[in-house]
């Protein structure tokens, strides 16, 4: 469970990085982003108890979507080293989640 808490913190840091780059231009975007993170965390905690394999699958899809979003941003901002690092972090996390899912489903 501790690992999932750290992942939520990590996602919050990624949110702040995108806000620094203009992602906080509209108050409604900030409102939804900050509140959905908390809502998402507790929904996933519940989901892990109910169906861990499906919860991992949802997380994989979210991380893949995040990578695609960062990749789109990098097309217009190819020199943004921090976002490149974050995009790589997303890919690494997808690999970790896939490994965890395979261990979970092989049991």
The predicted-structure confidence for 59-90, as pLDDT tens digits, reads as follows 899 889 989 999 999 999 999 999 999 999 88
- Whole-model pTM: value is 0.78
| Torsion (CA) 26, 28, 46, 106 in degrees, nearest 10 | -40
Per the document, the length of the chain is 107
Residue with tokens 């509140």: 35
Retrieve residue 77's tokens: 């901002």
CA–CA–CA angle 58, 64, 65 (5° rounding): 90
Contact 92, 85 (CB under 8 A): no
Cα distances (Å, whole numbers) of residue 67 to 24, 52, 84, 87: 19, 23, 10, 5
At 42-65, the pLDDT tens digits run 888 898 899 989 988 998 998 899
């Amino acid at each position: 469970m501790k690992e999932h808490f750290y992942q939520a913190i990590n996602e919050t840091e990624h949110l702040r990085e995108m806000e620094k780059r203009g992602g906080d231009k509209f108050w409604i975007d900030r409102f939804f982003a900050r509140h959905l993170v908390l809502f998402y965390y507790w929904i996933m905690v519940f989901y892990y108890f109910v169906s861990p394999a499906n919860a991992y699958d949802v997380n994989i899809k979210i991380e893949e979507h995040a990578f695609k979003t960062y990749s789109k941003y990098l097309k217009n901002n190819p020199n943004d080293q921090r976002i490149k690092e974050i995009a790589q972090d997303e890919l690494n996390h997808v690999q970790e989640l896939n490994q965890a899912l395979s261990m979970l489903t092989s049991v």
